[in-house]
Amino acid sequence: MSKNTGFSITSAERYSLALFELSEENNLLSQIEDQSLSVLNLINQSDDFRNLIKDPTVNQEDLSEVINKITEKNKFDVLFKNFLNFLIQKRRFFFVESILKSFIETCSRKRGELKAKLRSAKNLSNDEIIKITDLLTKNFSSKIKLDYEHDESLIGGLVVQVGSAMVDTSIKSKLQQIENKMIEA
């Protein structure tokens, strides 16, 4: 197997850090973060766009033309447009999704936010999610960025993970604990 396994997580972090520093220097951090989220949403919602990014046979000029149309239509900042075109030039656009996700995480980290995951058996309303986020913010004395997922397999209850701390009140977990005790007996 080759030593060079291709584009690594570290490489994505370097590109995202470069975007972060450029955005911060130009006082465009919140705009570039919003625009990055827009591109990530486009990748998640459009199979055609996702396939275009992942297709190694796509001509650089064609890809650049598509990106320029997207940036014009969405009125993206010139800095972000140039960054995306730079990725195309360097043949790194294939990794744009991981680069932009890393950029969003860098922005969150620099704001002092903690990343938390919430899974619930019941589909929670926005008010309930906000209340849980506020409670976590109070308990951890830090701003929380919450990723919410509805997970019917939990049967009932919640699973909250903030960093390495996890609170699992799901019925699925409790049934698993009972099963383990019965096996041990």
Is residue 1 over pLDDT 60?
no
CA-CA distances (angstroms) from residue 60 to 23, 44, 146? 25, 22, 37
Q: Both tokens of residue 129? A: 């999610």
Length of the chain: 185
pLDDT, residue 3, reads: 45
What confidence tier does 2 reach under pLDDT thresholds 50, 70, 90?
Answer: very low
Angstrom distance (rounded) from CA 144 to CA 123: 20
**pLDDT score at 67:** 95
Q: Tokens in use for 89?
A: 């030039």
**pTM of the model as a whole:** 0.71
pLDDT > 70? residue 107? yes
Q: Which two tokens stand for residue 22?
A: 């450029």
Which carries the bigger pLDDT value, residue 30 or residue 175? 30
How do residues 110-154 score in pLDDT, each as one tens digit? 888 888 899 998 999 999 999 999 988 898 888 888 889 999 888
Q: Do 122 and 115 contact (CB within 8 A), yes or no? A: no
Question: What are the structural domains, with CATH classification, of the chain?
Answer: 9-109 (1.10.520.20), 114-184 (no CATH)
More confident residue, 1 or 163: 163
- The yes-or-no verdict on residue 6 having pLDDT over 70 is no
